[in-house]
Amino acid sequence: MGAKQIYPAYKLFRLDAAAEEGFDPGQMTGSKPALLPTAEVPMKDTLTTSRRSVLVGLGAGLAALALPRGLRAQQTGGVLRFGLSTFPPSLKPFDNTGGAANTVKLSIFRGLMGYNAAAELQPEVAESYEWTNPQTLVMTLRHNAVFHNGDPVTAADVVFSLNEITKEGSTAFLKSDLAIIETVEAVDDKTVRITLSAPSSIFLNLLANYCSPIISAKSTEDNVIGCGPFTLGAQERGVFIEVARFADFYMPDEPHLAGIRFIAYADENLRYSALEAGDVDLIEYLPWTQFDTVEASGRLEMKSTLGPFMFLLFNVTDGPFADPRVRQAVGYAIERQDVVDAAFAGRGEPLYGLPNPEGSPFDLADPEHEFTYDMEKAKALLAEAGYPNGFDCRLLATATYGMHQDTASVVQAYLAMIGINATLDLPDWGSRVTAGTEGRYDIAVHGTSGTFNDPDALFSLLYSGNPSYLQSFGFKSERIDGLLMQGRTEPDVEKRKAIYQELYAAYYEEVPQVPLNWRTQAHAMTVSVGGFEALPGFLNGSTAFVLEETTLA
């Protein structure tokens, strides 16, 4: 009997030209396909009087090699003190409640796929996988993968986990993304067959998402059992969460740390001061005003990337923002470089159109469908929509993140110039998430990142079938939804590019959000921290995948 034909993911999806070099699927046999390479590359006017007044009023200016697992100098021990940007609103495995929550979740939960420190997509709880045809994926689980309660990870647990995400009534972050799953079957205890309703260019990336972990079928709402490198320990709500090394983690000799103490700092300056004082070893979201200080320091270092981005959301259920012309007016009213300068100390780049990440296989830039700074055009669009004198509204951001608050202040100042008087609403992060979910705002500042470097990573931000606080409240577009679905199920690279070029235009015309800027984002740490790499671009939010490789001298 002949060997089974394998259809690896990168015959369906080309991340870059190198992904296909030397690859001939017709010659591949066996049960282990090559790993899908997803190494990503970080992204790389004179003020008018009114613009200068905005900046003055706001106070403008507010490399180790990634070695394969097992090849690093290993040191087991020590408790890493990790300064979080906020206390996680929730650690529910299938929810997305922000970067801090996802960092903690990745320490205790893992899925079928993951990323290494070189940002390469690789099997995680799965040991190997094969595409037996373009719509059927067979995955073999690691023989030594066990849950934190000592039970082995089985195919039945995989079936349970994926069904929990996709079941009717689920509020899982990836419910719409994984709706492409037709069936999940346990072939035997360690083999799973996943059948899709259509080919998928990005299915393996979805399985690597921090919101698609494999949990035990014995899990309950109050006791979710994962199989990650650390086990959940003590916690004090609003203050800290502790995790301890899981001795039976499936990767030999990992994690290197004895544990991690995640400490929440609601204020970014306090978080940095704690690092500088030696109260913590590592922090996320290094304040942009401290980049120069850390770069010049002999005892601190930082790992940064350009990939997360800032944007505006709208409540489109009624009122002025229900009209796309008003949303377009907002897009033209803001000088984005001022957001970069005032909120990010110049560390970032303006973003004028669809947030297509660096490392994407497609160049989608289209000046005809981008929001340049044009105050007169903004005023004309407002007048055309019936608001020549502007209106009052509520602008939601958060006091938890200075970057959100400062961005909101710049936006507020520019909106005032076209007659839109926005009152700032700055709750803590958890309340911000709730207000966004419930639509208690007119316009809102938000920042996020995709989870891999492809336009499809914007699916959860734009697809109206699975609304969340990451989307404009009440926004629906059959056109955009259709393009998103076409893009992820089309295997031909050139056809995908054409689909996303049309999406670029639809994004501008229908305005599901207004893009503002790419931001440089950094983790900072003492030189005693080793083995930690910030993943690049859209993958930065998945950086916690490297925590099991992190050491503490």
As a three-state string, the secondary structure of 362-374 is CCCCCHHHCCCCC
DSSP 8-state class, residue 534: P
Structurally, at CATH architecture level, domain 50-61+306-519 sits in Roll (3.10)
Closest CA to 464 of 89, 262, 175, 64: 175
Closest CA to 522 of 514, 508, 532: 532
β-strand partners of 152: 146
Distance between CA atoms of residues 88 and 312, nearest Å: 23
pLDDT at residue 76, as a whole number = 59
**Is 218 in a helix, a strand, or coil?**
coil
pLDDT at residue 491, as a whole number = 85
Question: Scanning the structure block, which residue is given the tokens 């305005």?
Answer: 511
Question: Has this prediction a pTM greater than 0.85?
Answer: no
Output the tens digit of pLDDT for each of the chain's 553 residues. 333 333 333 222 222 222 222 322 222 223 333 323 333 333 333 333 343 334 334 443 333 323 333 333 344 589 999 999 999 999 999 999 888 999 999 999 999 999 988 888 999 999 999 999 999 999 999 999 999 999 999 999 999 999 999 999 999 999 988 999 999 999 999 999 999 999 998 999 999 999 999 999 999 999 999 999 999 999 999 999 999 999 999 999 999 999 999 999 988 899 999 999 999 999 999 999 999 999 999 999 999 988 889 999 999 999 999 999 999 999 999 999 999 999 999 999 999 999 998 778 899 999 999 999 999 999 999 999 999 999 999 999 999 888 999 999 999 999 999 999 999 999 999 999 999 999 999 999 999 888 888 999 999 899 998 788 999 999 999 999 999 999 999 988 999 999 999 999 999 999 999 999 999 999 999 999 999 999 888 888 899 999 999 999 9
Cis peptide before 255 (omega within 30 of 0): yes
pLDDT at residue 466, as a whole number = 76
Angle at 182 between CA 179 and CA 183, to 5 degrees: 120
Q: H or E stretch including 38?
A: none
Straight-line distance from the first to the last Cα atom of the chain, in angstroms, rounded to the nearest whole number? 54
Length reported for the chain:
553
Q: What is the largest CA-CA distance in the chain?
A: 78
Superfamily of domain 110-225: Dipeptide-binding Protein; Domain 1 (3.90.76.10)
The fold adopted by the segment(s) 79-107+226-305+521-552 is D-Maltodextrin-Binding Protein; domain 2 (3.40.190)
Inter-residue contact 316 to 51 (CB < 8 Å)? no
Residue 235 CA: distances (Å) to CA of 116, 155, 239, 244: 28, 32, 8, 12
Structural domain boundaries of the chain? Answer: 50-61+306-519, 79-107+226-305+521-552, 110-225
Inter-residue contact 525 to 279 (CB < 8 Å)? no
Q: Where are any strands of DSSP class E within 323-400?
A: 348-350, 391-396
CA 329 to chain centre: 28
Residues with Cβ within 8 Å of 538's Cβ and at least 6 positions away in sequence, in order, are 40, 307, 357, 359, 449, 450, 451, 452, 453, 457
**Amino acid sitting at position 17:** A
Inter-residue contact 456 to 201 (CB < 8 Å)? yes
